Amino acid sequence: MLKLLLCASACMVAATAHAELPAKFAEKGKLVVANTPNYPPMEYRDPATNELMGVDIDLGAALAKQLGTEIEWSEIGFEQMVSSLNTGRVDLILSGMSDLPARRETMDFVDYMRSGAQFYTSTKNAAEIKEMTDFCGKKVGMSRRTSFPDEAAKWSAANCEANGKPALEIVGTEGSADARTQLKQGRLDGAVQGSETLPYLTELEPDTYVIIGEPFTEVYQGIGFSKQEPELRDAFAAALAELIKSGEYKAIFDKYKLAGSMVDAPLINGEAVK
């Protein structure tokens, strides 16, 4: 567990009336937040300094400052996050998590970004794979811990099998980095990642990957909260609304070249805040 001080003592002022932490969290003086820093540009470590960086890290800092508190980042495996939230080991999740209907059964989300699953391939495969249906019958890797395998299977049924083409051969990987490694090794023909990660990826490793087509799903990324803490959820929704109004939210997304992924206003479980 790594504690990252996000607000100096001079910032420890009362939150605004519009975005105020519930008393029990304000009294603690910090929020424990689950994060897995392996999903650039959402969360990652600077190779030179080992410092936490990314959209979620900057957004978490801004939200903490808005609410007059600190964040203690708890680095845990993605598959352990929901159980950690619901057993009280962490107060919330801010780690590139998609707001999916199945997840809403056990948690609530404040949605802050648009996303979608998107295909890409290696430059050496680009002559053969030029459009999305060229992946039919090919080996395509994606993190087994995400919703991507199920979503890719649905896409394949509608776009490959329904048109008499062979199905995608979906390969579950140990995260997106593993998929990229296998793609570069020639063990995969393509891969799937969140659309928000691919511009960063192609800039980080130029002339290595080619994005194919448009995202084939639409989903929001959300901050996850226990259903037992609606007041905390609502405080974050209010704080996010204030960051959007002030322009600080836009500045964060512009920094990581993700202006196209911004939302106009916070959503709770995919719905407009009442």
**Structural domains of the chain in order of their starting residue, each with its CATH number:** 2-115+220-272 (3.40.190.10), 117-212 (3.40.190.10)
User: How sure is the predictor about 146, in pLDDT bands with cuts at 50, 70 and 90?
Assistant: confident
Rounded to whole angstroms, the Cα distance separating 40 from 75 reads: 15
Per-residue pLDDT tens digits for 158-217: 999 999 999 999 999 998 889 999 999 999 999 999 999 998 889 889 999 999 999 999
Flag whether pLDDT at 5 surpasses 60.
Answer: no
Confidence band (pLDDT; 50, 70, 90) for 71? Answer: very high
| CA distance to 71, 173, 217, per residue, from 88 (Å) | 15, 29, 32
Starting at the edge strand found earlier in the chain, the sheet holding 190-194 runs 169-173, 139-143, 190-194, 117-122, 209-212
pLDDT value of residue 18: 55
- Euclidean distance between CA atoms 140 and 216, whole angstroms: 14
